[in-house]
Structure 1
Amino acid sequence: MSEWKQKRFWKAVSVAETENGFAVELDGRRVKTPAKAVLAVPSRPMAEAIAVEWDAQTESVNPNMMPVTRSANAAIDKVTHQHAAVADMLADYGDSDLLCYRAEMPTELVLRQSEIWDPALDWAADALGVRLEPRSGVLHTPQDPAALDHLRGLVHEMTPFQLAAFHDLVAMSGSLILGFAATKGWREASEIWDISRLDELWQEQQWGQDEEAQATADLKRRAFLHAKRFYDFS
């Protein structure tokens, strides 16, 4: 990761169209990933967002201020070479989707889960052609294998850049369905994030807010919203 330790040496940042998409150049030299591949991305808006991040660096490069660059690096250096494995890992969320495991009590929480989570499952039935079925309790009950195979196929169709974003949307929400809902614009990403946190928000209402837990949730929320933005760029 020596790339991240270098001092700023460039004066101008630009975007150049290439045979593989769009690259970012520093004084005419193309930016490379940590694995030394050319950082070529699929859209000009993504490349321009990366260029803004590089142009914002001052004395030294700070990766914490470069989320689009880091996501693009992950797509190129990691997901491209492990596409099938990453897709399978994310598709597996469908068989234990957050939206399908419901509380048995108290009644108010049961009703709230139904009110807020059922519309997402209904949306998936219409938009994705698959209906996952909710269960009461935490014991695993398999979903219809044909439904899971259909969802798996949709995940495998994603490009490495889409899959890099989808990874965070699914892993942070705990829901394959909400991941798809975010990518397809079912609702605003911030609302989808809140839907994924229904249980945590319920606990906060009952027992109060924990500052440390809230700080962690805020970080995850920003990462979730970034993943949606990155997916839209791709």
Structure 2
Amino acid sequence: MAEWKQKRFWTTVSVEGEADGFSILLDGRRVKTPAKASLQVPSQRMAELIAAEWEAQEEVVNPNLMPNTRSANAAIDKVAIQHTEVADMLAGYGDSDLLCYRADSPAELVERQAAAWDPALHWAADVLGARLEPRAGVLHVPQDPEALNILSKRTHAFNNFELAAFHDLVSLSGSLVLGFAAALDWQPVDDVWSMSRIDENWQEEQWGVDEEAAETVALKKADFLHAKCFFDACSD
């Protein structure tokens, strides 16, 4: 049996400002999320990005070409009903942050990690008020509870849409600090992504590039860049 696919049924796409946000309308009817909630977003910019995705659909709707719609759906249908749990999960990255677990050899890798990751930890200490300390090796050593508490409060302060984007910034990079660095524009987002790939890039230099793995990484990078764009659109 052929898989059912939704066909385009609308002619016009528009954005409507309301008292508490912006809605996307198809032939004057509000778009709903998969859970049947109103797809209402916090900024006109985000609404316009989503509206453009719906306008771009042709005969058959392709959700893979609608990343902003998917992110907004996640914010409304998932994050909104478990904001505390999602924030707790992301804040937990701080105690095992990628940037804090360093190689003890070879010297060149040690130097690369320090050159990229030490400035990020210094930035977190200066701007976020939370200093995380690096360690050599992979054995877990707890971080300062006060620093973790500061990072947790900042994470919990994000609204549902920001937190949906922040989820991908943190989970895809493996670092709470890099998630904040991307969200708060410490460095260009491409550079932040590169910081998260130092170990993998080193391995590729030693053993060569696995084409299948490279394709997966490219998809993850695209998702990371989208998450940054979606985060920025929360307040435009």
TM-score, L = length of structure 1:
0.97
Partner residue, 2:199: 199
Alignment of 1:13 with 2:1, yes or no, is no
Q: 1:208 offset after TM fit, Å?
A: 1.2
Partner residue, 2:123: 123
Partner residue, 2:171: 171
Alpha-carbon deviations, 1:183-209, whole Å to 9, x = none? 100111111001000000111111111
Partner residue, 1:138: 138
CA distance in 2, matches of 1:143, 1:58: 51
CA distance in 1, matches of 2:5, 2:224: 26
**Matched residue type, 1:22:** F
Q: 1:132 offset after TM fit, Å?
A: 0.2
Partner residue, 1:42: 42
CA distance in 2, matches of 1:43, 1:204: 41
Partner residue, 2:66: 66
Identity %: 66
**Matched residue type, 2:35:** A
Q: Aligned to 2:123, what secondary structure does the other structure show?
A: helix
**Matched residue type, 1:112:** R
**Matched residue type, 2:71:** S
Deviates more, 1:19-28 or 1:130-139: 19-28
CA distance in 2, matches of 1:211, 1:5: 31
Q: Aligned to 2:17, what secondary structure does the other structure show?
A: strand
Partner residue, 1:160: 160
Q: 1:20 offset after TM fit, Å?
A: 2.4
Q: Aligned to 1:16, what secondary structure does the other structure show?
A: strand
Q: 1:6 offset after TM fit, Å?
A: 2.1
Q: 1:35 offset after TM fit, Å?
A: 0.4
Q: 1:19 offset after TM fit, Å?
A: 2.3
Structure 2 spans left out of the alignment, 5+ residues: none
**Matched residue type, 1:180:** F
Report how many residues are paired: 231
Q: Aligned to 2:22, what secondary structure does the other structure show?
A: strand
CA distance in 2, matches of 1:112, 1:38: 47
Q: 1:18 offset after TM fit, Å?
A: 1.4
Partner residue, 1:147: 147
Structure 1 spans left out of the alignment, 5+ residues: none
CA distance in 2, matches of 1:101, 1:82: 30
TM-score, L = length of structure 2:
0.97
Partner residue, 2:84: 84
CA distance in 2, matches of 1:59, 1:18: 30
Partner residue, 1:93: 93
Partner residue, 1:211: 211
**Matched residue type, 1:229:** C
Alignment of 1:23 with 2:29, yes or no, is no
**Matched residue type, 1:231:** F
Q: Aligned to 2:185, what secondary structure does the other structure show?
A: coil
CA distance in 2, matches of 1:76, 1:191: 30
| RMSD of aligned residue pairs (Cα, Å) | 0.9
Q: 1:61 offset after TM fit, Å?
A: 1.2
